[in-house]
């Protein structure tokens, strides 16, 4: 990934090219994320940020579970518009944020930050440092971080872009002392084309 403008152009093209159900990362029900989020035991009134949420079905599951304050952030206008169209009138409590996460400024702190497969696209130390700065400023102390990336032995690229694979040890090193790991789990995702992809999910608390 080169810069924000190129990233945006790339992802707009990706989302225009095919329907949601054809994307390699598609999940009809994002069970792993939902289980981890509900496992935090945060109240339904908590503030949730879904980074790279685009047209993910996570927001559907969160709304069905009763969560009341959900911000969906994505660099792609097309991805957000697809999600809005899918949800229709069922958008009370949902806020849409079109921006690059490394440039995001939160108006209020979040209780939970969820990111399935954005962080692993950050292949430079500089871009990861910007992400972590935004994360530290946006997630309240004691808040929860749910992060999913490709695992060791998983894909080395996604949508034509290089990625970085993580295990728990590497992620703990990457996030440093400000985040305390609570749980990690491995998941074998099957793409719509039937291809297995190894993911790792991590749950941290902001110390």
pLDDT reading at 3 higher than 60: no
Which token pair is 23? 């994307």
Give the domain 4-206 fold: Rossmann fold (3.40.50)
Residue 1 confidence (pLDDT) above 90: no
pTM of the shown model: 0.91
pLDDT, position 191: 87
- Please give the Cα distance from 129 to 119 (Å, whole number): 11
Whole-number pLDDT of residue 22: 63
* N-term to C-term CA, the chain: 30
Query: What's phi and psi for 75, nearest 5 deg?
Result: -80, -20
48 neighbors 66 (Cβ within 8 angstroms): no
CB neighbourhood size of 160 (10 A): 8
pLDDT, one tens digit per residue, over 4-36 is 448 777 667 777 777 666 677 788 899 999 999
CA atoms within 13 A of residue 8's CA, in its CB half-sphere: 15
């Amino acid at each position: 990934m080169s810069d924000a403008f190129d990233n945006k152009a790339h992802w707009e093209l990706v989302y225009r090219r095919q329907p949601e159900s054809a994307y390699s990362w598609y999940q009809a029900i994002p069970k792993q994320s939902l289980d981890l989020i509900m496992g935090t035991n945060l109240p339904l009134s908590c503030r949730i940020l879904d980074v790279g949420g685009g047209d993910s079905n996570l927001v559907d599951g969160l709304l069905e579970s009763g969560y009341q304050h959900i911000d969906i952030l994505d660099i792609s206008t097309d991805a957000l518009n697809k999600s809005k169209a899918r949800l229709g009138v069922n958008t009370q409590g949902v806020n849409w944020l079109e921006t690059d996460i490394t440039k995001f400024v939160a108006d209020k702190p979040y209780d939970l930050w969820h990111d399935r497969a954005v962080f692993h696209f950050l292949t430079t130390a500089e871009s990861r440092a910007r992400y972590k700065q935004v994360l530290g400023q946006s997630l309240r102390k004691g808040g929860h971080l749910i992060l999913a990336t490709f695992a060791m032995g998983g894909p080395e690229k996604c949508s034509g872009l290089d990625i970085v694979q993580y295990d728990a040890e590497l992620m703990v090193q990457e996030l440093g002392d400000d985040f305390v790991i609570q749980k990690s789990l491995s998941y074998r995702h099957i793409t719509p084309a039937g291809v297995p992809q190894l993911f790792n999910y991590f749950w941290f608390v902001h110390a």
